[in-house]
Structure 1
């Protein structure tokens, strides 16, 4: 299912958080949003999973205007994990994961055999099956993050929206998650702070700065030394990954010399 952001802008208290952002994620594609803190990445995602309504512009899923769908319908098509996602109630891991089926069930309808199998597979995929009977309140931050990711997968979304999904995860689970996203089925829009992981995991990358799109395209076209210096204010040498060929950044502690300011996306 393709996802398209058509010129969305978000203005709050007279401040522009996102300005005329246009971006497309094709069916099954993994598109990463990268940029400094405050560049509008999370705000853009909120417009996709309907935590925010754009001040202007349109979000389309499979050609449908998201604003015209019921919340239940959009929840069947889009699943999300947020960077500040928490579970405050004393639910077991299995109970939290099962909440992902809510958009597909009516009232207090119990989980059927297929639903239980989906939950079991998602917990196995995220390596939390052994925690199924544990209270989520007793888990570490990384374990909770994997529980919320499993809940999102159980929704069987056509579009998966992830805001810093590797936050709190150890290296093994970061690599496993991002490896799974490639070719997993849903269209994925993901915010990542680690540019090297983004280059490895994403088909395309959108680079944001001050709420505007600076560049979008394959990782090698976006993560150039010049653009990284202009947007992030760091010096980096770009080298190919020895196995995948994806660009990898080797950072220097020396401040960059930036000429002409931040470039803008044509």
Structure 2
């Protein structure tokens, strides 16, 4: 299912956080949002999973406006893994993951056998099956990130939005998570701070600065020395990855170079 942001703007307390943002994520593709802190990336995502209502503009899922859908239906279509998705109660891992089925259940309906097996498969895929009976409050930050992603995946969404999903993950699990996104077949909109990971994982990138989209295109088109300097204020050389050909940035810690 396609996802489209059409002229999205968010104004809070007289301050424009997102300004006239238009961006399309084609069905089954992975699009990354990158930009400096405070550039509007997370705010844009919140409009997609309905935590925030835009001041103007529209979010489209397929041929329908997101706000035209009942909340339950939009929760079945769009799943989110957010920065503020912490679990404060000491549920077990398997209980937290099972919460992903909530939009599909009626009242206190129990999980079906298929749903229980789905939860188990997702836990296996994310290497957290051994944590199933652990309380989430006993987990490391990286383990908890994988649990929250599992909760989103068992929702069986058509669109997945993720806000810095690689936070707290070690290198192995960063690579595995982004590989999973590429192979998921879902329509994915993801915020990433690591530009090299974004280049490797995303089909297209949107670059935000001060709430505005300043560039969009393939990683090769977008991640140029000039843009990285202009938007991020960082001197970098762009090289091709020797195995994949993806653009990779080599940063200099010496401002004179």
TM-score range with shorter-chain normalisation?
A: over 0.9
**For residues 120-142 of structure 1, what are the alpha-carbon distances to aligned partners after superposition, in whole Å with 9 as ceiling and x for unaligned?**
01111111000001111111111
Superposition pairs of residues 118-137 of structure 1, within 5 angstroms: 118-137=118-137
- Kindly indicate whether residue 78 of structure 2 is the aligned counterpart of residue 78 of structure 1: yes
Secondary structure of 1:117 counterpart: helix
Superposition pairs of residues 32-71 of structure 1, within 5 angstroms: 32-71=32-71
Q: Give 1:90 deviation, angstroms.
A: 1.6
- Kindly indicate whether residue 247 of structure 2 is the aligned counterpart of residue 251 of structure 1: no
Question: Could you say which residue in structure 1 is the equivalent of 2:184?
Answer: 184
Query: What is the rounded CA distance, in whole Å, between the counterparts of 1:248 and 1:35 in structure 2?
Result: 16
Query: What is the rounded CA distance, in whole Å, between the counterparts of 2:238 and 2:254 in structure 1?
Result: 15
Secondary structure of 2:100 counterpart: helix
- The aligned length equals 257
The two structures have a TM-score, normalised by structure 1, of 0.95
Superposition pairs of residues 138-177 of structure 1, within 5 angstroms: 138-177=138-177
Q: Is 1:80–1:152's contact at 8 Å kept on the other side of the alignment? A: yes
Q: Which runs of 5+ in 2 are unaligned?
A: none
**For residues 2-36 of structure 1, what are the alpha-carbon distances to aligned partners after superposition, in whole Å with 9 as ceiling and x for unaligned?**
00000000000000000000000000000000000
Q: Is 1:233–1:255's contact at 8 Å kept on the other side of the alignment? A: no
**For residues 153-212 of structure 1, what are the alpha-carbon distances to aligned partners after superposition, in whole Å with 9 as ceiling and x for unaligned?**
000000000000000111000000001111311100000000000000000000000000
Secondary structure of 1:182 counterpart: helix
Q: Give 1:256 deviation, angstroms.
A: 8.0
Question: Could you say which residue in structure 1 is the equivalent of 2:224?
Answer: 224
Secondary structure of 1:226 counterpart: helix
**For residues 75-109 of structure 1, what are the alpha-carbon distances to aligned partners after superposition, in whole Å with 9 as ceiling and x for unaligned?**
00000011122101121100000000000010111
Query: What is the rounded CA distance, in whole Å, between the counterparts of 1:90 and 1:251 in structure 2?
Result: 41
